Structure 1
């Protein structure tokens, strides 16, 4: 390859690495957002050990920042036209590439397990809500917040608490459903406790919370998995061009 063509290829490698570095930094930021769990739904996945979405986010934090640093190193190696430095760059990038593959696949497969249907979330809710344990308290707080914020009740609706056996029913026989299933005043007091207990229309939230939970977990998955896959495609293309450049160096 002529000197002019090699120089053009070098600038392509530099440009692709600059774009990949920015994409890696964006992946780093997005993964931090997921790991921070702004919607506070981790207990719903964590209590059963199905928290791979968040595990994938932690891996993506590492890989995103590692992509950024390695791409900067790749730019330096390309400008130096050093085979040794380019070889080190290619090996490190390939290792990080494999880690990010694991992160994206882990998040995607776990998302399908959690939101494939409402039964898994419902079973967990009925088992742990109202339970006097660390996990029970976390699940209770999470469901109370979700039901009050999204104005919903149960996974598929308030009938979940009546049709199925639950810890709540065992511990509080006089309550058909949690009080968080009912509308509140601006002072956060129940609008009508008596009507709440009997489920009067207009006081009791009738829609289920599963759609909200599914939406949040899907957002998390898109952030970690599908954005991760898009970064992988970019990095793969960058690696191919970088390998061609490496083979042309003397």
Structure 2
């Protein structure tokens, strides 16, 4: 799982550096995630270093500085963690709920497959 998390982090940072601020969809997803989880980047604000966004604006997204503008390295909030850590914290607080919802969805999918199989077999017999 550590290899998968490392791979996920590399992919997330790659897209963050290349497409944040250029792709409306990706920017909206990241902005929503960072605002809701009160986080910045995947690992932290450093993920925006050498990014297209930073080169074009010479600042970090405002959420990285607890909404101080302009958001420069000297006023980045130490309280704002990376989104991966924030997501881990969210899961640790809400893991049972997330797991229950996932199990419920799996149960519904399994029931739908069983009903489909029964109907298919009944149609085939006629």
Q: TM-score, normalised by structure 1?
A: 0.33
Instruction: Report the Cα offset of residue 124 of structure 1.
Output: 1.5
Instruction: Report the Cα offset of residue 157 of structure 1.
Output: 1.3
Unaligned ranges ≥5, structure 1: 1-112, 184-189
1:5-84 alignment, distance < 5 Å: none
Alignment match, 2:46: 159
Greater relative CO, 1 or 2 (CA 8 Å, sep 6+): 1
1:235-250 alignment, distance < 5 Å: 235=114, 239=118
* Aligned-partner Cα distance in 2 for 1:156–1:117: 11
Residue correspondences, number = 107
CA RMSD of aligned residues (A): 4.0
Q: Is the 2:18–2:52 Cα contact (8 Å) retained in structure 1? A: yes
Instruction: Report the Cα offset of residue 152 of structure 1.
Output: 0.2
The structure with the largest alpha-carbon Rg is 1
Instruction: Report the Cα offset of residue 153 of structure 1.
Output: 0.4
Instruction: Report the Cα offset of residue 116 of structure 1.
Output: 6.3
Unaligned ranges ≥5, structure 2: 92-97
Moved over 4 A (4+): 113-116
Instruction: Report the Cα offset of residue 150 of structure 1.
Output: 1.0
**Structure 1 residues 154 and 224: CA distance shift in structure 2, 3 A:** farther
* Aligned-partner Cα distance in 2 for 1:227–1:121: 31
Alignment match of 2:111 (pick from 221, 228, 231): 231
1:218-249 alpha-carbon deviations (Å, 9 max, x no partner): x5x9379634553267x27x84xxx7xx7xxx
Instruction: Report the Cα offset of residue 155 of structure 1.
Output: 1.0
1:193 has 2:76 as partner: no
* Aligned-partner Cα distance in 1 for 2:107–2:13: 29
1:69-109 alpha-carbon deviations (Å, 9 max, x no partner): xxxxxxxxxxxxxxxxxxxxxxxxxxxxxxxxxxxxxxxxx
